[in-house]
C-alpha cells in the first residue's frame, strides 16, 4: 500500500462570518434588512452567521450574492487540511 496526501479545502465558519459582516457593512446593509429580504423570522440567524455558529446555506449564499452584488468567493472563507489516505 502507498500512503498519499492531498490538500482538501474546508469551510472556515468564523472567517466566513467576518467576511459576511464586513461586506454587509461596506454595502450599508443591516442584519434586519437582510433578515427581511431573506424572509427569516429571527435576526439572530444573521448574527449566528457573523459569530461562526453556522453559515448561510447555498440558496441563501446565492441570494446574498445578488443582494450584496458580490461573488460567493467574497463571502465564503476556506482553509486547507491535509488528508492522508492509502492506495493499493
Kindly report the CATH number assigned to the domain that includes residue 35. Answer: 1.10.260.40
How far is Cα 7 from Cα 83, in angstroms, rounded to an integer? Answer: 6
Determine the average pLDDT of the residues in 11-37. Answer: 97
3-state SS class at 86: strand
Task: Give the dihedral sign, CA 52/56/61/66.
Answer: negative
> pLDDT, tens digit, for every residue of 10-21?
999 999 999 999
Residue % of the chain over a pLDDT of 70: 100
The number of domains in the chain is 1
HSE-up of residue 79 (Cα within 13 Å, Cβ side): 6
User: What pLDDT score was predicted for residue 68?
Assistant: 97
Q: What is the mean pLDDT of residues 50-68?
A: 96
Determine the structural domain holding residue 52 and report its residue range. Answer: 2-87
What confidence score (pLDDT) does residue 87 get? 83
Amino acid at each position: 500500500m502507498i500512503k498519499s496526501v492531498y490538500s482538501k479545502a474546508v469551510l472556515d465558519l468564523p472567517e466566513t462570518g467576518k467576511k459576511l459582516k464586513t461586506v454587509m457593512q461596506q454595502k450599508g446593509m443591516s442584519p434586519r434588512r437582510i433578515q427581511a429580504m431573506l424572509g427569516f423570522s429571527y435576526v439572530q440567524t444573521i448574527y449566528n452567521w457573523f459569530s461562526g455558529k453556522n453559515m448561510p446555506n447555498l440558496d441563501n449564499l446565492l441570494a446574498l450574492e445578488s443582494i450584496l452584488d458580490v461573488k460567493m468567493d467574497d463571502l465564503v472563507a476556506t482553509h486547507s487540511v491535509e488528508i492522508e489516505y492509502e492506495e493499493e
